[in-house]
Amino acid sequence: MTLLIIGLISSFFLGAALASFVHCWAHRLYNGEGFKRRSYCPNCQHPISWFNNLPIFSYWRLKGHCAYCHQPIAKDYLISELIGGLLLASATAIVWFNLGGEANFWLAARTSHFWLTLIQALIGFILLMLVFWSDYWWMSIFVNPLLIGAVIVAGLNLLAGRTWQSLVGGILFGGLFFALQFWLSKGRWLGEGDIYLGLFLGSWLGWPLIIPVIFIAYVVGAIIGLVLLVVGLKRRQSQLPLGVFLAPSGWLVFLFGQSWWQAYLHWLGW
C-alpha cells in the first residue's frame, strides 16, 4: 500500500513536470526557438530560477504572478500541470490494479516488457500532450517531434515483442486514413498535422488498436461539437481541431485498448 502511495505521488509530480515542459516546448516550437535559452517570463523576459519554476508549487507560492515583474502568469500553465499530474497518477493507479497489487508489481518490474512499455507510455504522454495544446492553440507545429517519436516507439515496440505486421498495419492505416481525407477534401476536413498524428498513433499502438482511437475521437468530437453548437458556443462553420480529440483518445486506448479489444472479440464470438 505504501508503495502505491509513493507511486501515485511521484507519478503526479512527474506528470506535472512533464506537462510544464510540454507547455514550454509548444510555445518554443511556435516561436521557432530551441532550448538553448533558459525558461523566461514572457512578459519581462527575466530568466526564471529553478525555485520559481517548480510545477504547481511555484504557481501557488507566487500566487500566480511573475517573481520579477509581478505580472499575472496565464492560468493555463497551472491547469495543464494539474491535468498532467492527474493523468499520470490515474494511469499508475490503473496499472497497479490491473497487475493486482505489490507482489505482482515486483514480478512485472523484472521483465524488460514492463520498462519498454513504461518508456513508450512516457513518450506517448509527452507527444500527445504537445499535440493537444498546440493543436488547441495554433495547429500543426508538431510534425518533426511526431515523426521522430514514431520511429522511436516503433523500435521499442519491436523490442517489446510486437509483430512487424501489427506495426506496419497500424502505421499504414493511421497515416493513409488521414492522408486520404486530406487529399480528397484538399485540406478542408482536417489539417496536415493529423496525417503525422495518425502515423505516430499507428506506430505507438499498432494494428488493430489504431481503429478504436480514430473511432472514439470522431464520436466524442461529434458529440462535443453538437453540444457546443446547441449551447451557441460554436457556429456551424467553425471547426475544432481533430488532434484535440485524437490525443486523449490515443491515451485512453493505450491504457485500456487491449482489454477493450479482447472484450469486443469475445462479444463477436471469436
Whose Cβ is closer to Zn ion: residue 4's or residue 62's? 62
The amino acid at residue 38 is R
Whose Cβ is closer to Zn ion: residue 64's or residue 225's? 64
Number of H helices, E strands in the chain: 10, 0
Give min distance, CB of 59 to Zn ion, in A: 14
Residues 50/56/59/64 CA torsion (nearest 10 deg): 150
Cβ–Cβ < 8 Å for 194, 242: yes
The amino acid at residue 65 is H
Give min distance, CB of 77 to Zn ion, in A: 13
**Interatomic CA distance for residues 138 and 30, integer angstroms:** 8
Give min distance, CB of 24 to Zn ion, in A: 15
Instruction: At 11, list the grid cell.
Output: 507519478
Q: Tell me 139's DSSP state.
A: -
**Interatomic CA distance for residues 90 and 125, integer angstroms:** 13
Whose Cβ is closer to Zn ion: residue 51's or residue 215's? 51
Give min distance, CB of 43 to Zn ion, in A: 4
The amino acid at residue 179 is A
DSSP structure string for 63-79: TTB-TTT-PBPPHHHHH
Whose Cβ is closer to Zn ion: residue 41's or residue 143's? 41
Cβ–Cβ < 8 Å for 57, 82: no
Which parts of this chain interact with Zn ion (CB under 5 A)? 41, 43-44, 66, 68-69
Whose Cβ is closer to Zn ion: residue 48's or residue 255's? 48
Give min distance, CB of 53 to Zn ion, in A: 12
Whose Cβ is closer to Zn ion: residue 53's or residue 239's? 53
Give min distance, CB of 69 to Zn ion, in A: 3
Whose Cβ is closer to Zn ion: residue 33's or residue 265's? 33
Give min distance, CB of 45 to Zn ion, in A: 7
**Interatomic CA distance for residues 194 and 208, integer angstroms:** 19
Around Cβ 231, how many Cβ atoms within 10 Å? Answer: 8
